[in-house]
Structure 1
Amino acid sequence: MADADNEKAVAPVNMTASSSAESASIDQDAMKLAEMGYTQDMQRNFSVWSVLGVGFSLTNSWFGISAALVTGINSGGPLLIIYGILILALVSTCVGITLSELASALPNAGGQYFWANELAPRKWAKLASYLTGWLAWAGSIFTSASVALAMGSAMVGCYQLSHPDFEGLTHEFVYSTIKPWNVFVAYQIANLFCFFFNCYGKILPTVAQVSLWTSLVSFFVILVTVPAVAPTHQHAKFVFATFINNTGWESNGIAFIVGLVNTNWSFACLDCATHLAEEVHRPERMVPIAIMGTVAIGFVTSWFWSMAMFFSIVGDFSNIIATSTLVPILELFYQALNNKAGAIVLESLIIATGLGCLIASHTWQSRLCWSFARDRGLPGHSWLSKVHAKLDVPINAHFASCVIVAIVGCLYLASLTAFNSMITACIVLLYLSYSIPVICLLIRGRSSITPGPFFLGPVGLFANIVTLAWTVFTLVMYSFPYAKPVQAGNMNYVSLVYAVVGIIIAVDWVFRGRKKFRGVGERMGVVGEVVRSVVERG
């Protein structure tokens, strides 16, 4: 990027080239950031392994499959999950290539909203960037909420399995079915517990690597243990050719698509690593490695894990679907091991992996919030954009994001169906946030920017097109009702979620954003000053 000419979208300020060359002590990463108009506010403590740790811990495909099993098995069964993983792996490879190319050319913690600002026509750059930033942050909030819900459900399920007479205490101290507030309390505990891990910047790289290895070790332990101890095994036809349609849709194709959203959740959030671009050295190389590594590891682990689990199902598959724990994978463990303690131990490994996922999600959402706020994209931007000098984290952005996740969890008490619609929204909103800069790139021309080290030419163009096509597909098809006949209890409220998010964005834009948000023109006006400060420090 530092070698680009003035006509390129990523061109630096040429007046600083000689200054940066004269001093070997100048931080070249900080200089590149300064040429974008930003100061180096956080230390670059992350290595490629810790960035990969955050990226994979968040996407964590095999964990996502286990958490989403409760709905996926009703909308396609084994066939959906086995082949759905293949479909999503191919799509995610294209999405990963798209994000990696942009992150390599324009490494910035703002990620997609920064790319939109750089690539959109100047007349629309401010609005395109603003819209992208809001969509991305909203998607990150809903993602954290969905992971916290998965953790809450798993914890309550484990307690129910170990205490068969417990099905949720009512205010009358008698036993009834599991109550939403049981899961809600566990949801809030998980969100609060994971909050503290993102409060001290120096430990985050270590936490990220521990989360990565926790996920991989848990994967191998479960992958080996369950098939080894299961008394019987399913035949190949069951695993690779059994389609289950309990949705009420007459068309198996629609049922497959409705269920695909859960597999898609397991490959979401691939932009995570891009928002750590200002906390790792040589981000133009390290971030693409983390993104593509996340896709590769996610595919291998999720596909083999799914096959192993489906081969290990004991007895009637319907017993797993109708489990009293409301956690099908826990019931699968229990039937395979025929031991409650053993099943809970294996589920505890999934919970530990999920907590690492939620910690990574908190890291991701806080960086999105902070970076967007420093360009005045959010209300309260002056407070949200502060980085704590001693803690080396955007603590205000982290706190605010986690509070919003806690508030969103309250909707679970009102309607499980409405809450599940936000899980769908987290997928589609993120795809929309990727698509805006991609559209701007294609309109502008891929040759109009200076590519980074990761650039695949025609393959990248194909990946861009697939990313846009898949975004349109998910926006339309993931809005279909979950089941038929359509009732209030099974309605897909994702369109309502889109409407609420859209109204919030529109209101803030009209009354604040269009005047306050810092577009590329205003930002580039301070480049000279920021660059000089880097040279002086060097």
Structure 2
Amino acid sequence: MNPQKGAEFHVDSDPNFSDAGEPNILVSDKDGTSADVHDMIRMGKRQETQRNFRQITILGFCMVILSTWEAILATAVFALGNGGTAGLIWGYLICMVGFGFVVMSLAEMASMAPTSGGQYHWVSEFAPRSSQKFLSYMVGWLGVLGWQTAAATVSYLTGKQIQALIILWNPNYIPKAWQGTMLIWAVLSICLLFNTFFSRKLPLIEGVIVVLHVAGFFAVIIPLWVMGDRSNTGGAFTLFQDNMMWGSVPLATMVGLTGAASCFIGIEAGAHMAEEVRDAAHVIPRAMMWTWLGNGLMGWIMAITFCFCVNDTMSVLMTPLGSQQIQVFLNTTGSKSGATGMTFIMLVIGVFACVAVMATNSRQLFAFARDNGVPFSKTFRKVSPNKGVPLNSVYVTIFFVLLLSLINLGSSVAFMQVISLGVAAMITSYLISIGCVTLKRLRGEPLLPSKFNLGTFGLAINIISVLFLLFLWIFCFFPSVPHPTIADMNWAALGYGATIIFALVYYAIVGRHVYVGPVEYVSKSQ
């Protein structure tokens, strides 16, 4: 795209006006407002989905999909094993602050180009012209990989909690790998149901679940506050531990950051639903920022509370339940029923977080297929005229995660490394897209108009984001323990590399002939 063309648009921060300076009025339920119509025309895209989401419902969707306080409990094992309670508390805060800069950078781009494509579209518009096509293509594949593995991760963690509850009530139960895989499939079947038959009700459903998300936070944290042992509160903030024997507490703590970082991966989810949101350029970036702030604070408070209740780190890590948070719930309440009730809240939220993840990654796949970025693009880019959603993309997403879940039959440790794989892929997509905007700012090139403009602080925010993401990216490929065995290896590097190689081969044979990048459609539409 010719960067000078961005100067033709009038920047107006008033959401009641479109970027062209005209009144921002409702056109139709499908097309949204006149600003939405203008954005779709500018990007050269045809409105195919229904704009069912409003400001409140998309905020609820984003809050549920991130589910940070639930995620920090489910992934606490990473930080407790690598850094201890202090590593968990302060590592989470570092990640929250760092991702604040990342979210601001992504939110600005989501306002400039509100499209389901997200990062790969932004790279296509903002990268140097010589590398727009290739970089956009690779980021598209990384986005597909990241969101597909996210669905596998959420469904796995949910199934693991169910097995832990069974052990809680029946200590003689020995969980089998095939049973865990079947639980993943059960969660995916619910995701399929709500992303097909009840797809039009998804905004309402996620709106109801976000109420449970907030109410559940208090339902879990208040018993921990009231019944928890606060005799060692100071130690929770200061006790850094190298429980995995890295030989360096700072190194162990940095390795543990992967767990905290995973709580913020997917923060741009609302951007992938942009074509189903009314007044997307104004609403999406604000939903992203409120999600980061609200979920981030709840997650940090929960992390601190959880650490106060961990009296013996090693006993919690080695729990026979296989779930550290349920063991802490049991230790704190002294009641199986109490621990079960608190866990049940997390289970319900986890299932519907997976529903939201499935909706998001199917839209991202749909958008990439629309630009001929994947094999069988004509099939995946079809939108059901009755449901108003890309059903084929939903189906293939379910099928891919089903295949991915088979890894659990061989090694649950290897399957857990899917988390690192998804985190690495998503961080790379954030890094490249923000890096492209940073380069444009350094070169003094004009950017597209935005209803969420970082102004004079934009360059500094972008640079901090890039440095923070580079730091996290390195540790995504570290094993969870030093001197790992084959079973303990972090196979994220293998999955990441295999995806890159496949994308490169496909690009060389087919992709470069059929994929031109979204920027070419933008140029033709102006």
| Deviation larger for 116-125 or 363-372 | 116-125
| Shift in CA distance, 23/86, structure 1 to aligned 2, threshold 3 Å | closer
Aligned equivalents of 2:136 and 2:404: distance in 1?
A: 25
Q: What is the letter of the counterpart of residue 53 of structure 2?
A: F
Aligned equivalents of 2:356 and 2:289: distance in 1?
A: 17
Partner of 1:70: 77
Aligned equivalents of 1:330 and 1:23: distance in 2?
A: 49
Task: Find 1:419's aligned residue among 401, 415, 419.
Answer: 415
Aligned equivalents of 1:494 and 1:10: distance in 2?
A: 42
Q: What is the letter of the counterpart of residue 118 of structure 1?
A: E
Task: Find 1:394's aligned residue among 390, 395, 413.
Answer: 390
2:79 and 2:257 in contact (8 A); partners too = yes
1:30 and 1:39 in contact (8 A); partners too = no
Report Cα offsets for 1:108-162 as digits up to 9, x if no partner: 1111111111112233211121111111111001111111111011010011111
Task: Find 2:259's aligned residue among 262, 269, 283.
Answer: 262
Task: Find 2:115's aligned residue among 103, 108, 117.
Answer: 108
Partner of 1:348: 344
Aligned equivalents of 2:23 and 2:487: distance in 1?
A: 67
Task: Find 2:285's aligned residue among 288, 292, 302.
Answer: 288
Partner of 1:362: 358
| Deviation larger for 303-312 or 358-367 | 303-312
1:12 and 1:36 in contact (8 A); partners too = no
Mapped pair 1:203 → 2:210: no
Task: Calculate the TM-score normalised by the size of structure 2.
Answer: 0.92
Structure 2 residue matching 1:485: 3-state secondary structure? coil
| Deviation larger for 75-84 or 473-482 | 473-482
TM superposition shift of 1:388: 0.6
1:234 and 1:312 in contact (8 A); partners too = no
Structure 1 gap ranges (5+): 168-177, 529-538
2:329 and 2:339 in contact (8 A); partners too = yes
Task: Find 1:241's aligned residue among 228, 235, 238.
Answer: 238
Aligned equivalents of 2:52 and 2:427: distance in 1?
A: 29
Aligned equivalents of 1:422 and 1:191: distance in 2?
A: 17
Partner of 2:104: 97
Report Cα offsets for 1:458-482 as digits up to 9, x if no partner: 3222221122112221222232232
Structure 2 gap ranges (5+): 11-17, 28-32
Q: What is the letter of the counterpart of residue 45 of structure 2?
A: Y
Partner of 1:307: 304
Partner of 2:14: none
| Shift in CA distance, 520/479, structure 1 to aligned 2, threshold 3 Å | closer
Report Cα offsets for 1:249-295 as digits up to 9, x if no partner: 00111111111101111111111011111111211110111110111
Partner of 1:504: 502
Aligned equivalents of 2:164 and 2:145: distance in 1?
A: 29
Structure 2 residue matching 1:278: 3-state secondary structure? helix
Report Cα offsets for 1:311-334 as digits up to 9, x if no partner: 234x53433222111001101111
Task: Find 1:450's aligned residue among 448, 451, 454.
Answer: 448
Mapped pair 1:460 → 2:422: no
Counting only pairs closer than 5 Å after superposition, residues 125-140 of structure 1 correspond to structure 2 as: 125-140=132-147
Q: What is the letter of the counterpart of residue 498 of structure 1?
A: Y
Structure 2 residue matching 1:206: 3-state secondary structure? helix
TM superposition shift of 1:526: 5.4
Partner of 2:225: 227
| Shift in CA distance, 37/364, structure 1 to aligned 2, threshold 3 Å | same
Q: What is the letter of the counterpart of residue 250 of structure 2?
A: G
Mapped pair 1:253 → 2:250: yes
| Shift in CA distance, 5/420, structure 1 to aligned 2, threshold 3 Å | closer
Aligned equivalents of 2:450 and 2:524: distance in 1?
A: 24
Mapped pair 1:410 → 2:406: yes
Aligned equivalents of 2:332 and 2:95: distance in 1?
A: 28
Aligned equivalents of 2:342 and 2:7: distance in 1?
A: 48
2:3 and 2:447 in contact (8 A); partners too = no
Partner of 1:322: 318
Partner of 1:162: 169
2:124 and 2:519 in contact (8 A); partners too = no
2:9 and 2:448 in contact (8 A); partners too = no
Aligned equivalents of 2:245 and 2:301: distance in 1?
A: 30
Structure 1 residue matching 2:463: 3-state secondary structure? helix
Structure 2 residue matching 1:146: 3-state secondary structure? helix
Q: What is the letter of the counterpart of residue 412 of structure 2?
A: L
Aligned equivalents of 2:335 and 2:25: distance in 1?
A: 63
| Shift in CA distance, 222/420, structure 1 to aligned 2, threshold 3 Å | same
Aligned equivalents of 1:78 and 1:250: distance in 2?
A: 18
Structure 2 residue matching 1:8: 3-state secondary structure? helix
Aligned equivalents of 1:336 and 1:123: distance in 2?
A: 59
Counting only pairs closer than 5 Å after superposition, residues 12-27 of structure 1 correspond to structure 2 as: 27=33
Aligned equivalents of 2:358 and 2:392: distance in 1?
A: 12
2:6 and 2:448 in contact (8 A); partners too = yes
Task: Calculate the TM-score normalised by the size of structure 1.
Answer: 0.90
Aligned equivalents of 1:25 and 1:489: distance in 2?
A: 56
| Deviation larger for 423-432 or 468-477 | 468-477
Q: What is the letter of the counterpart of residue 280 of structure 1?
A: V
Mapped pair 1:523 → 2:521: yes
RMSD: 2.4
Task: Find 1:36's aligned residue among 35, 38, 43.
Answer: 43
1:46 and 1:279 in contact (8 A); partners too = yes
| Shift in CA distance, 11/103, structure 1 to aligned 2, threshold 3 Å | farther
Q: Which structure has the greater CA radius of gyration?
A: 1
Partner of 1:513: 511
Percent of aligned pairs with the same residue? 26
Aligned equivalents of 2:9 and 2:140: distance in 1?
A: 23
1:385 and 1:396 in contact (8 A); partners too = yes
1:60 and 1:267 in contact (8 A); partners too = no
